[in-house]
Amino acid sequence: MHGNRFRHNILTALLLAPATAWLVVFLVLPFVAIAVFSVGERAPEGGYQAAFTLAQYANLPARATAFWNTMVLAPVGALACLLVAYPVAYYLALKAPPRWRLILLALVVIPFWTSLLMRTYAWMYILGGRGIPALLAFVGIEDVRLINTPGAVLLGIVYGYLPLMILPIYVSLERLDRRLLEASADLGAKPLSTFLGVTLKLSLPGVMTGFSLVMILLLGEYLIPTLLGGGKVFFIGNALVDLFLQSRNWPFGSAIAITLVLVSVVVLVVANRISNRVAGARRVDLI
């Protein structure tokens, strides 16, 4: 009995070892390094110089605009994604003929097989002067500029992150007990109130998962605003790239990175609280 439990513990430890080692080497250690950098100083030629100062954190207001822009982009982008994704997920889960469902789901996922950079670059050409504006000029609508506008950035974000929003919502809708819908109708609810009172409410865990997932990724987003927005709006992601790769101010970049991680954690916790509350007793796992 005793030996059995010992063997069991050893087995558990062995099974967990690869994942633990992975997390320690690629998550914990880099995080510690960043934390150490963030209390250091920039060396005269750039990079890191050992020190203990909170000056980098005191300097955070110098990137206040970048933080603000990111805090606006992330929820707005996630919301736009949600508005497009929900009807798609609804159709897939409840309306699509079952034999089509798998094919349609595959179509949602297939774009993920190509890198986001390539797909965003494709949008640069579609929205650029030789793409849609050229077609519009052909039918007489001249001088339309689509690329490097806020609309182009929003389009790129919705396009890029749509599958991440569709899939969790689809899963929660797919698990929906159809009898509840019939019961609601039998009890006299109109289709709209059935949707709001039953379908939407029961799919909220999926909505919150998708929303948090997209929002957290958007907190670090910089590729799409750079390529489709012309780099005119400065996000935290852009600030980090500049600090590490251009001015090589690692300590300040590290302080911003740590702050961003903390903000992400807060977002996760708040989202978890909200979804727990609205979903009642149903437990929700985010990510």
Residues contributing to the site for other proteins (CB under 8 A):
42, 44-47, 62-63, 65-66, 69, 117-118, 121, 124-125, 128-131, 133, 145, 147-148, 222-223, 226-227, 230-232, 234, 238-239, 241-249
- Signed CA dihedral, 196, 199, 168, 115: sign only: negative
The amino acid at residue 25 is V
Minimum gap (Å) between residue 126 Cβ and other proteins: 11
Minimum gap (Å) between residue 226 Cβ and other proteins: 6
Measure the CA–CA gap between 61 and 57, rounded to whole angstroms: 9
In our burial notation (b when 16+ CB lie closer than 10 A, e otherwise), range 149-170 reads eeebbbbbbbbbbbbbbbbbbb
Q: Which is nearer to other proteins, 86 or 250 (CB)?
A: 250
Residue 281, judged by CB atoms within 10 A of its CB (0-12, 13-18, 19+), counts as exposed
Q: Which is nearer to other proteins, 105 or 223 (CB)?
A: 223
Q: Which is nearer to other proteins, 154 or 167 (CB)?
A: 154
Q: Which is nearer to other proteins, 153 or 207 (CB)?
A: 153
Minimum gap (Å) between residue 273 Cβ and other proteins: 32
Measure the CA–CA gap between 77 and 156, rounded to whole angstroms: 10
Q: Which is nearer to other proteins, 64 or 281 (CB)?
A: 64
Residue of 222, 252, 225 whose CA lies nearest to 236: 222
Measure the CA–CA gap between 73 and 218, rounded to whole angstroms: 7
Could you tell me if 60 and 38 are in contact, meaning their C-beta atoms sit under 8 angstroms apart?
A: no
Take residue 193 and report the two structure tokens written for it: 């109130």
Measure the CA–CA gap between 165 and 154, rounded to whole angstroms: 15
Token pair 């990724």 in the structure block, residue: 217
Minimum gap (Å) between residue 109 Cβ and other proteins: 22
Q: Which is nearer to other proteins, 93 or 227 (CB)?
A: 227
Minimum gap (Å) between residue 59 Cβ and other proteins: 9
Minimum gap (Å) between residue 132 Cβ and other proteins: 11
